[in-house]
Structure 1
Amino acid sequence: MKEIKVPELAESITEGTIAEWLVQKGDQVEKGDPILELETDKVNVEVNADASGVISELLKEAGDDVEVGDVIAKVDENGEAGGSSEEESSSEEEEQEASEENKQAQEDKEQQQETKESKQQEESKDDQQKGSNGDDKKEVIATPAARKRARELGINLSEISARDPLGRIRPEDVEEAAQGGGKKEQKQEPKQEDKKEAPKKEKKSEQSSEKTEFEKPVERVKMSRRRQTIAKRLVEVQQTSAMLTTFNEVDMTNVMNLRSQRKESFQKKHDIKLGFMSFFTKAVVGALKEFPLINAEIQGNEIVMKKFYDIGMAVSTEEGLVVPVVRDADRLDFAGIEKGIADVATKARNKELQLEDLQGGSFTITNGGIFGSMLSTPILNSPQVGILGLHNIEKRPKVMPDDTIQARPMMYIALSYDHRIVDGKEAVQFLKRIKEMIEDPYDLLLEG
């Protein structure tokens, strides 16, 4: 019997959640075959069988959290596929027989209990008749269970006040009396109106005890591991950095004109569309070279100045936001950047990202404009100290140098930065430099 364990995934990943089993008990597997999909805080990875044989046991279920080294399944290296079906069948028969025996025993027990309670009720009735015929004892109505509990605790039933509107003493009344409450002070015959209202109050009380924190229907869904990690890290960023955001607006007229002029020839030559992201990526690289602190990070008491330009591109997926990285963006031309962005975006949406696709970025760009966002304050992608937020393009009135007013396609851009090492002056100048390069794309092309 061979145990299958959660393998070492990466230095920063120590646990995950089983998203889906790709095999079932009794399936034949070969060494290296994928047996399950494991969801980590970064990517989904497949765990492979490290031995050939038959899956004899699955020790974890889909949705279970597991850590590196945990045993998740067992493989019978000498087994045959489907061999476990007879065992499962016999096991089911045994379970069914045991269940029937338990059911019969339970029915017998219930019948004995009913007989015992019936006998106790008859005895109780006789006692009540004796009390009403001859002496001063008052009639006491109580359930058999209440009488039994009263005898165990040595409590006189006539001294217990019943909460039941019909005056019947129940076990909970006996327990309350044993704790010092529920003693009769004055027995008053409830009025006819009170008798009508009492059941309503009792019903209302029962309903209120069953209420949860919500009065209306809700649905509870467990957060995916990725969503938990996203939530945790976003909160950590706000708690550990001095985050601030500065804004500017960009006239997109010249970029849009250039793109319209070149997009057909560009696509024919490079087999990729010319988008706006390549312009902004080039502008970001140029601005980072002029303001290197925005391309740095803090490690303890040191500032690490990065001499490379790996730009993270925020991509929205069904499982949440991921930030794959376009490597060495400073060495790529416009076509190279567009292909790099398209490649990581496709891999992200198809759940094909590898851990190395997400590691080592130096700066991030997020484009909320594709969803219609007009303005936002993006949150830093720690440990980076800068992130650029792009927004939708809308025509707005703009005063031109000759004092005329024209409708121009405008975009708001936002830079969030860590004020611990980036001063406001640098942040404003960085964003202004991006604005200048986007508004003069020919200069951007020459510098690029």
Structure 2
Amino acid sequence: MKEIKVPELAESITEGTIAEWLVKKGDQVEKGDPILELETDKVNVEVNADASGVIAELLKDEGEDVEVGDVIAKVDENGEAGSSNEDSSSDKDQEEEKQEEKQPKQEEQEEKPAAKSNDKQDTSSEKGNKGEVIATPAARKRARELGIDLSEISARDPLGRIRPEDVDAAASSSSQKDEKKAPKKEKKESSEKTEFEKPVEREKMSRRRQTIAKRLVEAQQTSAMLTTFNEVDMTNVMKLRSERKESFMKKHDVKLGFMSFFTKAAVGALKEFPLINAEIQGNEVVKKKFYDIGMAVSTEEGLVVPVVRDADRLDFAGIEKGIADVATKARNKELQLEDLQGGSFTITNGGIFGSMLSTPILNSPQVGILGLHNIEKRPKVMPDDTIQARPMMYIALSYDHRIVDGKEAVQFLRRIKEMIEDPYDLLLEG
């Protein structure tokens, strides 16, 4: 009997929550097959079987917290899939036959209880038959996602083992998708009254949401956080972007967005004000000589901050591709731990949701975060005293006042404003 343990994940991750088992007791698995999805503080990871055989026992339930080294399952390396289920079902059939032979014919009042017990036995035996379906863990996961009953799928494998392509084939020919799961979610609302006079819905916070909440509070409690603001005239950037976007797309196969301009400007300003690219470790200030820029991305499970590495060495196309790559991986839940580690400064863009003004919270242990907002036309007094409607954006810098003085923070934001308002100079310097 082989024990499956929670493997080493990363130096900073020692525990997780079982989000979903991808196998059941009695399933045949091959070495390297994913058997469960583990939710950690940062990303979801799949734990693979380190031996081939049959799942003999699942020792932890979904939603249960586990630590690195915990035994979570056992694999019988000499077992056969479905053998335990077949034995148990055959034993039940024999017992039922014996009971039917021994039971004399009696009046209807005596037959009704027997009929009820037989109905229960039939139901349990049907459930046992469904459990005998042989399928790969990936096929079972795919079937759950599509809401398809594995017992209704015919396998093309000579051994009768259902694979993911069999599930996809069944899904394409069936009109029944994920309809069974939706009603269950709607019924979550509790009609019971607790401390509230009206019905409420209670839902356990995911491990990632708990971690986000904890670290946001820690950032405010452990740093002297302050925010300074400025506004940027986006006219020239929008004009340059309009002029170059088609040729840029043809040449680099990626759109020219605003984030690459602000990333370049932030890197330039960080080089002039290195303390904003630093962090505090004990009684020391660590000034970072690299520029790994975190990009805040909103996902269904909460805010994550994947990192674009060495942004100072990338051109505009490289930055845009880097941002698109990490954003796609974040939304598809494909981020790896290394994608989230080691950032030196963060940019968050609330403008895509329509935010006009906000004070972003530091992404500890970083000491600076740049907040971007919505672009709206506002009246602006020009150098010749005329008033024009210009596309304006408020920008914000939250910083740790323990090592960053207000003068440096204001000048940093002012330098970003100057570079964005003169993007041609930014292009030359970049």
TM-score, structure 1 normalization: 0.73
Which residue does 2:31 correspond to in 1?
31
Which residue does 1:157 correspond to in 2?
none
Looking at structure 2, the residues matched to 50 and 368 of structure 1 have their Cα atoms a distance apart, in angstroms, of: 44
Contact 2:51 2:75 in 1 (8 A): yes
Letter in structure 2 aligned against 1:299: Q
Which residue does 1:4 correspond to in 2?
4
1:237 partnered with 2:219: yes
Which residue does 1:69 correspond to in 2?
69
Looking at structure 2, the residues matched to 388 and 259 of structure 1 have their Cα atoms a distance apart, in angstroms, of: 21
What stretches of structure 1 move > 2 A for 4+ residues in a row? 86-96
Larger-gyration structure (1/2) = 1
3-state SS in 2 of match to 1:18: strand
Of 248, 256, 261, the residue aligned with 1:266 is 248
1:331 partnered with 2:307: no
Alpha-carbon spacing, 1:77–1:414, altered in 2? closer, same or farther (3 Å):
same
Looking at structure 2, the residues matched to 365 and 95 of structure 1 have their Cα atoms a distance apart, in angstroms, of: 68
Looking at structure 1, the residues matched to 94 and 367 of structure 2 have their Cα atoms a distance apart, in angstroms, of: 64
Looking at structure 1, the residues matched to 425 and 91 of structure 2 have their Cα atoms a distance apart, in angstroms, of: 77
1:408 partnered with 2:371: no
Aligned-pair identity (%): 93
Matches within 5 A, 1:221-300: 221-300=203-282
Contact 1:247 1:415 in 2 (8 A): yes
Alpha-carbon spacing, 1:237–1:88, altered in 2? closer, same or farther (3 Å):
farther
1:61 CA displacement: 1.6
1:59 CA displacement: 1.1
Which residue does 2:159 correspond to in 1?
none
1:437 CA displacement: 0.2
Which residue does 1:347 correspond to in 2?
329
Contact 1:17 1:39 in 2 (8 A): yes
1:86 CA displacement: 3.0
1:65 CA displacement: 1.0
Which residue does 1:392 correspond to in 2?
374
1:408 CA displacement: 0.3
1:22 CA displacement: 1.0
Letter in structure 1 aligned against 2:260: S
Contact 1:365 1:389 in 2 (8 A): yes
Contact 1:298 1:383 in 2 (8 A): yes
How many equivalent pairs are there? 335
Looking at structure 1, the residues matched to 248 and 207 of structure 2 have their Cα atoms a distance apart, in angstroms, of: 41
Looking at structure 1, the residues matched to 82 and 340 of structure 2 have their Cα atoms a distance apart, in angstroms, of: 41
Matches within 5 A, 1:55-204: 55-89=55-89
3-state SS in 2 of match to 1:272: coil
Letter in structure 2 aligned against 1:385: V
Which residue does 2:22 correspond to in 1?
22
Which residue does 2:53 correspond to in 1?
53
Looking at structure 1, the residues matched to 4 and 324 of structure 2 have their Cα atoms a distance apart, in angstroms, of: 37
Letter in structure 1 aligned against 2:395: I
Looking at structure 1, the residues matched to 251 and 205 of structure 2 have their Cα atoms a distance apart, in angstroms, of: 45
Letter in structure 2 aligned against 1:45: V
Q: Could you report, residue by residue, the CA deviation over 1:313-368 in whole angstroms, capped at 9, with x for unpaired residues?
A: 00001110000000000000000000000000001011111100000000000000
5+ residue gaps in structure 2?
97-191
Looking at structure 1, the residues matched to 74 and 95 of structure 2 have their Cα atoms a distance apart, in angstroms, of: 23
Contact 1:56 1:84 in 2 (8 A): no
Contact 2:193 2:199 in 1 (8 A): no
1:299 CA displacement: 0.0
Which residue does 2:109 correspond to in 1?
none
Contact 2:53 2:78 in 1 (8 A): yes
